[in-house]
Amino acid sequence: APAVFTGVDVYQSSFNPQEYLKEFYTLSDSQGQPNTFLMENLKILFKMFSLDGLRGDTLIDVGCGPTIYQLLSACEHFQEIIALDYTDQNRRELEKWLKNEPGAFDWKPVVEYVCELEGDREKWAEKQEKVRKKLRQVLKCDVTKANPTDPVSLPPADCIVSTLCLEAACKDLDTFRSALKHIGALVKPGGHLVMVTVLRETYYAFNKQVFSCLRLEKNMVEEAVEGAGFDVKFSEVQTYLPGDIRTDCEAVLSLVARKLASIT
C-alpha cells in the first residue's frame, strides 16, 4: 500500500484513462480470464436500477472517471444524465467516446453483456446511442468541496450514482462523511443514491502507478450514508478472493438509499 494518500493532484498528473480502461474494463484479461469484478458490478447495477422508484428526469454520476458501464442500466430510467469528475483527462476520454472520436474506448462487449442481462443482447447499439443522447454534460467536480461543481450550481437531481469514487477521493473517514453530505445535496428529497464501493481496500494499481484507497467496512459506509440524510433501502456485499496483484480489495458494497425530506 502507498504510504501516502494520493489526492487530486496525483490523479490529475498520473491517472491514465486509457490504461485504466484497458486494465479494468475489458470482459476478459489477456489470459482469457473473465473479469468477474466488472461482471458482478454490472449485474448489481442492473438489479439496483430495477428497484421501485429508481426513475425520474435527471441522474448525476459523481466521479465518473472515463467509464460509462455505470450508466448502462441507469439510462433506461432517466431522461438526462450529467457526469462529473475531477480529472481533466478522464472527462476528455469520456467525451471522446461520447462524440465517437477515433481512439475512443470500445464499450461494445460491456454494453452487449448488460443488454443480455436485460434480456436482449441485440439491443447493444440502441443502448449505446441512448447513453450518448442522454449524457448531456461532463463537468468538473471536487467531492471535498461543499458545492462539488462550484462555480456551477446544478439543480438537485432525482438520482445520483457513484462508483468507486469516494473511497479513492477521501483521505479519512471524516472526509468521506462530508463528501457524502456534499454529493447528497445534489439529490432532491425523496430521490435516490446508488453507490458501489470497495471494502477493506487500501490501494489499487495499474500502469505502474499506485493509488490509495480509504479502508472501509460496510457499517462505516452505511452510517455515513445515513449521516448524510439518507435511508438505506438496499445493501449487498460481494466478496472477492485474495490473489489479485493489482489491488487488495476484499469485497464490494452496493447500496441504494433514499433521501429523507429535509427537516428545515
What residues form the annotated binding site for S-adenosyl-L-methionine?
20, 25, 69, 85, 90, 142-143
When asked if residue 141 is in the footprint of ligand SAH (CB under 6 A), the reply is yes
Q: Minimum distance from CB of 67 to ligand SAH (Å)?
A: 4
Virtual CA dihedral for 44, 47, 48, 54, nearest 10 degrees?
Answer: 150
The annotated binding site is made up of 20, 25, 69, 85, 90, 142-143
Nearest to 215 by CA among 260, 166, 149: 166
Angle at 192 between CA 231 and CA 213, to 5 degrees: 80
The three grid cell numbers given for residue 52, joined into one nine-digit string: 421501485
The three grid cell numbers given for residue 205, joined into one nine-digit string: 494499481
Return the residue of 8, 39, 154, 205 that touches ligand SAH, per CB under 6 A: 8
Give the three-state DSSP class for 160: strand
Stretch of residues binding ligand SAH (CB under 6 A), selected from 82-90, 108-116, 186-194, 235-243: 82-90
Strands 187-199 and 251-259: antiparallel
When asked if residue 85 is in the footprint of ligand SAH (CB under 6 A), the reply is yes
Whether residue 151 has a cis bond before it, omega within 30° of 0: yes
Backbone angles phi, psi at 207, to 5 degrees: 55, 35
Q: Minimum distance from CB of 240 to ligand SAH (Å)?
A: 16
When asked if residue 86 is in the footprint of ligand SAH (CB under 6 A), the reply is yes
- From residue 15 to residue 54, the character string flagging contacts with ligand SAH as x (rule: CB under 6 A) and all else as - is x---------------------------------------
State the residues that interact with ligand SAH by CB under 6 A.
8, 11, 15, 63-65, 67, 70, 85-87, 90, 141-144, 163-165, 168-169
